Amino acid sequence: MSEKQKMIKVFIMGEAYEVPEGSTIVMAMEYAGYQLKKGVGCREGFCGACATVYREKGDYKLQGGLACQTVVTDGMTLAQIPFVPAEKPVYDIKKLKPDIDTIKALFPMVFRCVACNTCTKACPQEIKVMDYVQALKRGDVARAANLSFDCIRCGLCALRCPAEIVQYNAATLAQRLYGRYLVKKSPELEERIVEIGEGKYDQELAELEKMPREELSKRYYAREIKLK
Amino acid sequence: MYPDYMMKSVEMVEKTRPQRLELARKLGKQVFPPMNEKEREDVLNRFHPDYKKESRRKIRVGVNKGEQLTTEVADLLESYSRVDPAIFDLNKADYDTDVLVIGAGSAGMAAAITAGINGSNVLLATKLRLGDSNSMMAQGGIQAADQKNDSPVLHYLDVMGGGHFDNKPDLVRALVNDGPIAIKWLEDLGVMFDKNEDGSMMVKPGGGTCRSRMHSTRDYTGAGICRVLRDEVYNMPDRIKYLEFTSIIELILDDKGQAVGAIAYHLETKQYSIIKARSIIIATGGFGRLHIRGFETTNHYGATADGLVIAYRAGANLMFMDSVQYHPTGAVFPEQILGFLCTEKIRTMGAQPVNMDGDLFVYPLEPRDVEASAFIRECTERKKGITTPANRVGIWLDSPLVDQINGEGAIQKNLPAMLRQFKRFDIDIVKYPMLVFPTLHYQNGGIEIDEKGESGIPGLYVAGEAVGGIHGRNRLMGNSQLDLIVFGRRSGYWASERAKIGVKVGKLTMQHVYDYEKEVSALNIPKKKIAPIILPDYIPDHVKVKQKTTEYFGTLF
Ligand SMILES: Cc1cc2nc3c(=O)[nH]c(=O)nc-3n(C[C@H](O)[C@H](O)[C@H](O)COP(=O)(O)OP(=O)(O)OC[C@H]3O[C@@H](n4cnc5c(N)ncnc54)[C@H](O)[C@@H]3O)c2cc1C
Ligand code: SF4
Ligand code: SF4
């Protein structure tokens, strides 16, 4: 928004408002006088609370986006979708196996995917949603976890899916299975935990804890910086 | 894209880039000499917003009466309750639980899970949805001393030095010693840490660290952790009940001074309810939405320091509430992303801060307060900043170096959130630098706790950003994400233990609110000044004057 604010017209839930050009949807709604409670969260594109559907002037396409990340255009008409109804299966991650049987048991819905790619087109995070759903169908948990990594659970994919799949819930499961079971454990981490358990650092830490400020400051500025 | 006149400065940056790249190849991170103790002091004193006289004032009520606090915090605390407590019948509880957790960021959810696993029934009340929090937004990383050339001892030194040695030693010790254990706990829950082929952690340095110990999950570290915790909360329906869009607006004590309950307010249905609990954990996060000193913020919508307000009224002691963390690199252009975080990881991967002439002027990885002050000096005293069309000033963060140093595709692979954020507004950070200026980021201080996470009020625990003492007056990157887990788990465990042992609850009372309000009204503070404010208010003035009968949640008056 430069000094001379140009105003444009947007339709929020059908009602026309004049708002400054260059506003995001969140900014436009607040400018219009809405005190937002739902449909807003981090305001920076990380939490997925502000899924919004809209059409642009003269365009038949129904588009989706995050209200905090989408700039309004003249004649845009929009509605927020603060919540997507979906059930999430309850599971104990410690008792699962990272394989196709787990997917079958918890998310049988993914096997209904008709590979229409609507979800990928709907995703504001540019995730290859269909590809991760397909990976899940093959039991390729690692691929699904990595492809879906940037998912912020905005729900826009699930809203558009003709097969009524809740992609993001399946993605979360894949990510957790991958993190817990499919990556190699870090040997250094395991060793360090044993050392800590044995109290290896207790004495030195106790000394530092009691050290007078000046001496501690000396130790601090004298410490060697070794960055990889 | 940047307007033409700004592109002229970008060209200067491009011109000096090859030399600076050469320098980075030769010297690694030390492309500019780090400041010594004296130089740090000087730049902080003269340029850090906290060191300006009007940034602080004496608080006139409550436990910390007479101490210097950040002005906006003192303003917030000198306020009345949202409701007259007399309207509630405290004997009629709507909920009765072992442990009440207030706030569902990573600290609150780690606490809830831990208390649940330990056998307690948990009620988790949160302002917006589960996970709508600062925790979800962290990009850069989480520290823990698990590398061979590192140790909790070195980590301890870094935390203390970063905090100017004011930190509470026992809390720092708990933080660094529990660090590796916290990482393992998260990995076992299924957090996808960035790793090398052999399973070792991919670690990076951070501002003020002497070793590389920053763990990450790409540049969605906060989300990588927080979404797993949230999924785990969903998976424990028998132990954890949660209430969303529910803000806690006051604590309930008993006549022995123990914390035994709270009053909740539902944002949509506007109902108040009474919660009884054996122990209470405050995990309400920070205060970015107070826009201290008029700064933009990186924080989520609900970061309004509610936990501080209610705990302070109940008699909890605050520590270091005279200090604010400004993150050096907040976005300045374009306007739509004003104040948004440009993660420190961009610098740890080699991006250099340079001025309008494309010259280096500071070691890229000073502790945050020092780095931010150096940026402000460059833009003010030295007049070497770049002005945007909206009249804001910033310096360049030369991001294209990241690919040049680490190989093509490094940004795409390691900083996808950043890349996407700027691309949405037509700026390709692989090719062009980012314009940045310090932004309000983190509440360094907070409520005083002990090693178990318990405050001075029996039964009242605190975890996460609402805590004061761990980081002194300056937190280093990655130590907050760590403290969420370490003290989330500690408070969760001890709160649950307290509930198990069986607390003898006396008569429920809100006398503390009356007593506090008496102090406030003695200062002739207008009655409409209420807190917690719950949400900030961004409705423009010309609309607001017409909203005659609306109740403003977020107005400070
Ligand atoms: C953009 C950004 C990037 C960051 N990057 C890093 C990083 O790389 N590394 C690092 O270590 N740290 C980082 N931090 C800091 C760190 O993420 C936060 O300090 C931390 O997440 C705070 O966690 P928390 O659980 O204490 O609070 P939050 O995560 O903020 O959660 C608090 C919760 O309490 C709720 N709440 C507030 N008031 C009430 C009330 N009255 N009643 C009920 N609920 C309430 C809120 O809605 C929210 O859900 C970053 C912070 C931000 C904002
Ligand atoms: S995968 Fe679905 S829920 Fe996740 S970000 Fe994309 S559209 Fe949103
Ligand atoms: S929208 Fe549904 S059916 Fe279509 S590709 Fe995506 S998951 Fe498959």
State pLDDT tens for residues B74-98.
999 999 999 899 999 999 999 999 9
CATH number of the domain at B4-31+326-439, please?
3.90.700.10
Of the pLDDT bands very low, low, confident and very high (cuts 50, 70, 90), residue A4 is low
CB contact under 8 A, A221 and B161: yes
The alpha-carbon gap from B476 to the nearest alpha carbon of chain A, in Å, equals 15
CB atoms within 10 A of CB A62: 10
Among candidates B129, B154, B165 on the partner chain, residue whose Cβ is nearest the Cβ of A41? B129
Give catalytic status of residue B266 as yes or no: no
Our answer on whether the CB atom of A23 is closer than 6 Å to any ligand 2 atom is no
Of the pLDDT bands very low, low, confident and very high (cuts 50, 70, 90), residue B532 is very high
State pLDDT tens for residues B489-499.
999 999 999 99
Judge whether residue B557 has pLDDT over 60.
Answer: no
Of the pLDDT bands very low, low, confident and very high (cuts 50, 70, 90), residue B514 is very high
Our answer on whether the CB atom of B127 is closer than 6 Å to any ligand 1 atom is yes
Three-state SS at B280: strand
- The confidence score (pLDDT) of residue B544 equals 87
Tokens encoding A168: 């993001």
Query: Taking residues B411-422, what's their average pLDDT?
Result: 92
State pLDDT tens for residues B137-194.
998 899 999 999 999 999 999 999 999 999 999 999 999 999 999 999 999 999 999 9
Interface A-B, measured as beta-carbon pairs within 8 A, has a size of 239
Query: Taking residues B202-212, what's their average pLDDT?
Result: 93
Q: Which residues of chain B lie closer than 8 angstroms to A196, CB-CB?
A: 152, 177, 180-181
Judge whether residue A71 has pLDDT over 70.
Answer: yes
- Give the closest residue to A54 by CA, choosing from A35, A40, A74: A74
- The confidence score (pLDDT) of residue A1 equals 43
Average confidence score pLDDT of chain B:
95
Domain edges within chain B: 4-31+326-439, 85-323+444-508
Secondary structure in 3-state letters for B367-435: CHHHHHHHHHHHHCCCCCCEECCCCCEEEEEECHHHHHHHCCCHHHHHCHHHHHHHHCCCCCCCCCCEE
DSSP per-residue string spanning chain A: --SSPPEEEEEETTEEEEEETT-BHHHHHHHHT---SSS-SSSSSSS---EEEEE-TT----EEEETTT-B--TT-EEEE------------GGG--SSHHHHHHH-GGGGG-----HHHHH-TT---HHHHHHHHHTT-HHHHHHHTTT-----HHHHH-TT---HHHHHHHHHHHIIIIISPPPHHHHHHHHHHHTTTTHHHHHHHHH--HHHHHHHHHHSPPB--
Query: Taking residues B237-260, what's their average pLDDT?
Result: 98
Q: Which residues of chain A lie closer than 8 angstroms to B2, CB-CB?
A: none
DSSP per-residue string spanning B189-248: HT----B-TTS-B--B--TT-SB--EE-BTB-HHHHHHHHHHHHHHT-TTTEEEESSEEE
Q: Which of B327, B368, B377, B471 is catalytic?
A: B327
Among candidates B136, B199, B553 on the partner chain, residue whose Cβ is nearest the Cβ of A183? B199
Judge whether residue B111 has pLDDT over 60.
Answer: yes
CB contact under 8 A, A69 and B176: no
Judge whether residue B435 has pLDDT over 80.
Answer: yes
Instruction: Kindly report the CATH class assigned to A7-80.
Output: alpha beta
Judge whether residue A228 has pLDDT over 80.
Answer: no
pTM: 0.96
Judge whether residue B270 has pLDDT over 50.
Answer: yes
Judge whether residue B355 has pLDDT over 90.
Answer: yes
Quick check: do A7-80 and A93-182 share a fold? no
Query: Taking residues A38-54, what's their average pLDDT?
Result: 94
Of the pLDDT bands very low, low, confident and very high (cuts 50, 70, 90), residue B367 is confident
Domain edges within chain A: 7-80, 93-182
Q: Topology of domain A93-182, per CATH? A: Fumarate Reductase Iron-sulfur Protein; Chain B, domain 2 (1.10.1060)
User: CB of B195 within 8 Å of any CB in chain A?
Assistant: yes
Judge whether residue B52 has pLDDT over 50.
Answer: yes
Architecture of domain B85-323+444-508: 3-Layer(bba) Sandwich (3.50)
